[in-house]
């Protein structure tokens, strides 16, 4: 069968991802992991894993064991850790594959130590302590219990003690200093081990270095320093083709419920991307695409499979013309701001109907 025409193309720049990893490594001044959860924030975990591994990255994180199993073979010699920790029954799979659980409660510590005794050797794991996010990690009472009886870790090879920052993208938030102090205090009460502290934004806080940073978003071009110029390179470009162009008179409404009305005779371009592709409905009447450097306002509602743009002032936009929905001129952070969400959500919703192409690293 002939390959159907690509109506929309998501171009992932693996060279930019690798350049961002190198820049973050230089900035952090120590080892930097790659966080690949949620299919590498929608960019493609296999492709990103392969590119980062070839560049020398040797520490990786995903959220679920099945995400780790899918890419394990691409990452010889690297640590591949599962942030969401140990489900009952999964310990043998970790022991067999060498995938590393991030232990987030005393119950998980004890369960993994029991697995190590069955396996007959110490097993590697990360130990997650909760310093105020109240989501995952040993809460203070469990830390007390472990500090009182550190022999519970005897059968576990603690590769890193880690915690997660709740507000690192806001440098003035006092929670950063509180978590930093709580993490130092927790580590001092546990057996000596390397430490892992910062996510993308934490790398840009003063004094938040550690033995392993864990960036995700910044690798993929999201600005880790909101309100300041983006130090990262954009890693994706989302382009879509105009399907039809029509002329409408002044006073005509566009799209569901006619939420936009033409004030003058207008030309409307219809593009085959919608909220089913992860282009949020909240962008209705709020987004802008880009044509040849010129802004193109989105008018009317974003529908499931279609979206409409006002191209009255751009006579060169004809059926088949390409509009940039996300790209260097319309950064993912700006799309997110207009949609009332963050760039993480925009990236992780990028839909399966885009034809994906990869620029090599």
Ligand X SMILES: *Cc1c(COP(=O)(O)O)cnc(C)c1O
Residues at the interface with ligand X (CB under 6 A): 35, 37, 83, 164, 199-200, 214-218
| Positive or negative: CA dihedral 311, 316, 318, 324 | negative
User: By C-beta, is 79 or 289 nearer to ligand X?
Assistant: 79
User: By C-beta, is 131 or 200 nearer to ligand X?
Assistant: 200
- Give me the residue whose beta carbon is nearest to ligand X: 216
Asked whether 287 and 335 are in contact (CB, 8 A), the reply is yes
User: By C-beta, is 176 or 199 nearer to ligand X?
Assistant: 199
Helical packing angle, 106-119 and 140-148, nearest 10°: 40
41, 94, 220, 256: the catalytic one is 256
β-pairing, 59-62 vs 79-82, is parallel
Asked whether 326 and 332 are in contact (CB, 8 A), the reply is yes
Give the nearest distance from C-beta 338 to ligand X in angstroms.
Answer: 21
Give the nearest distance from C-beta 121 to ligand X in angstroms.
Answer: 27
37, 41, 275, 279: the catalytic one is 37
Within the chain, what is the greatest distance between any pair of CA atoms?
Answer: 78
Nearest CA among 173, 171, 233, 242 for reference residue 207: 171
Give the nearest distance from C-beta 213 to ligand X in angstroms.
Answer: 9
User: By C-beta, is 93 or 167 nearer to ligand X?
Assistant: 167
Asked whether 47 and 353 are in contact (CB, 8 A), the reply is no
User: By C-beta, is 67 or 310 nearer to ligand X?
Assistant: 67
Q: How far apart are CA 247 and CA 260, in angstroms?
A: 15
Fill in the DSSP letter of residue 185.
H
Q: How far apart are CA 280 and CA 309, in angstroms?
A: 15
Give the nearest distance from C-beta 220 to ligand X in angstroms.
Answer: 8
Active site residue 220: no
Give the nearest distance from C-beta 327 to ligand X in angstroms.
Answer: 21
Active site residue 256: yes
Q: How far apart are CA 18 and CA 43, in angstroms?
A: 13
What positions carry a catalytic annotation?
A: 37, 256
């Amino acid at each position: 069968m002939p390959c159907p025409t690509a109506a929309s193309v998501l171009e992932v720049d693996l060279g930019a991802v690798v350049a961002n990893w190198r820049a973050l490594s230089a900035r952090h001044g120590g080892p930097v992991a790659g966080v690949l959860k949620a299919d590498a924030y929608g960019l493609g975990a296999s492709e990103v894993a392969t590119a980062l591994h070839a560049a020398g990255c040797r520490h990786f994180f995903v959220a679920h064991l099945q995400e780790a199993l899918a890419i394990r073979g691409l990452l010889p010699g690297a640590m591949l850790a599962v942030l969401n920790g140990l489900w009952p029954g999964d310990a043998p799979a970790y022991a067999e594959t060498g995938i590393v659980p991030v232990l987030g409660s005393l119950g998980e510590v004890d369960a993994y130590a029991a697995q190590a005794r069955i396996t007959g050797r110490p097993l590697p794991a990360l130990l997650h302590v909760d310093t105020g996010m109240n989501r995952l990690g040993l809460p203070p009472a469990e830390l007390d219990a472990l500090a009182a009886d550190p022999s519970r870790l005897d059968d576990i090879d603690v590769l890193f003690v880690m915690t997660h920052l709740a507000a690192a993208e806001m440098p003035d938030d006092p929670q950063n200093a509180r978590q930093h102090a709580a993490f130092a205090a927790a580590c001092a009460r546990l057996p000596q081990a390397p430490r892992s502290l910062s996510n993308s934004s934490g790398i840009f806080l003063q004094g938040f270095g550690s033995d392993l940073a864990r960036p995700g978003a910044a690798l993929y071009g999201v600005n880790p320093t909101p309100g300041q110029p983006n130090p990262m390179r954009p890693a994706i470009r989302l382009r879509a083709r105009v399907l039809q162009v029509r002329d409408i008179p002044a006073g005509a409404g566009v799209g569901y419920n006619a939420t936009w009305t033409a004030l003058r005779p207008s030309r409307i371009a219809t593009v085959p991307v919608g909220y089913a592709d992860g282009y949020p409905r909240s962008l209705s009447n709020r987004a802008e695409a880009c044509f040849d450097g010129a802004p193109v306002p989105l008018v009317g509602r974003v529908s499931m499979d279609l979206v409409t743009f006002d191209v009255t002032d751009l006579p060169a936009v004809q059926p088949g013309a390409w509009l940039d929905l996300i790209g260097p001129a319309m950064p993912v952070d700006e799309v997110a701001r207009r949609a009332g969400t963050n760039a993480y959500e925009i990236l992780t919703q990028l839909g399966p109907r885009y034809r994906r192409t990869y620029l090599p690293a």
